[in-house]
Structure 1
């Protein structure tokens, strides 16, 4: 399976509401996620908690649009531009636009960085 196939599968999971299943399958135990503000979050357990907190804060998921997706198979790098439509609990409906860049080590994401587009 190519890296493009893998990242496409991850975003298909997000669209289907099974993002955490993709997280378990594709992220390394020692993954480092770099948030939009530059904060580095290390380890799968810590990132799983952060992901769960995000999804717990969502009242309704209205969908995700992937506007661009690409891969560099030789460098084991993928990138995705997307817009997620969510309503937060007790809050407003918002479109969260971001670019995410993934660096793979074999079949797992070792490092992912998020860039907010707004």
Structure 2
């Protein structure tokens, strides 16, 4: 197994176990840049941890998350997720999302999420 595949599988396992916020300490660079679709960039591990915490705090009902596919390239991984939940502001969300991670020295330095509205 490649080291990068092991890293993304470890990250995914934490997310599936409800420990998404713990992934920041293990897998994200201090200066990570994260982007939702084409929205504004969120820069830094602390800012992204806060963004994720706000997202999880707004979930009123969680019905599931499932990994549909994983691809590993040269310092890049892609995970295709399917999510089903209800969000306080957005309502019922049931969709597929591609998450693209760019890695450097075993840490994610850039991540972008692609999904429909």
Confirm or deny a common fold (TM above 0.5). yes
Over the aligned positions, Cα root-mean-square deviation in angstroms equals 1.8
Matched with 2:47 is 46
**Which residue of 2 is the match for residue 105 of structure 1?**
104
- The reply to whether residue 116 of structure 1 matches residue 110 of structure 2 is no
How far 1:6 moved relative to its partner? 1.2
SS in structure 2 of the partner of residue 17 of structure 1: coil
**Alignment length (residue pairs):** 116
Check if 1:63 corresponds to 2:70: no
Contiguous gaps of at least 5 residues in structure 2:
none
Provide the TM-score with structure 1 as the length reference.
Answer: 0.87
- 1:20-65 alpha-carbon deviations (Å, 9 max, x no partner): 1112210111000021124211111111110110000012222211
Q: Is the 8 A contact 2:68 2:82 kept in 1?
A: yes
Return closer, same or farther for 1:59/1:107 CA change in 2, 3 Å cut-off: same
Which runs of no fewer than 5 residues in structure 1 stay unpaired? none
Superposition pairs of residues 77-92 of structure 1, within 5 angstroms: 77-89=76-88, 92=91
> Is 1:19–2:27 an aligned residue pair?
no
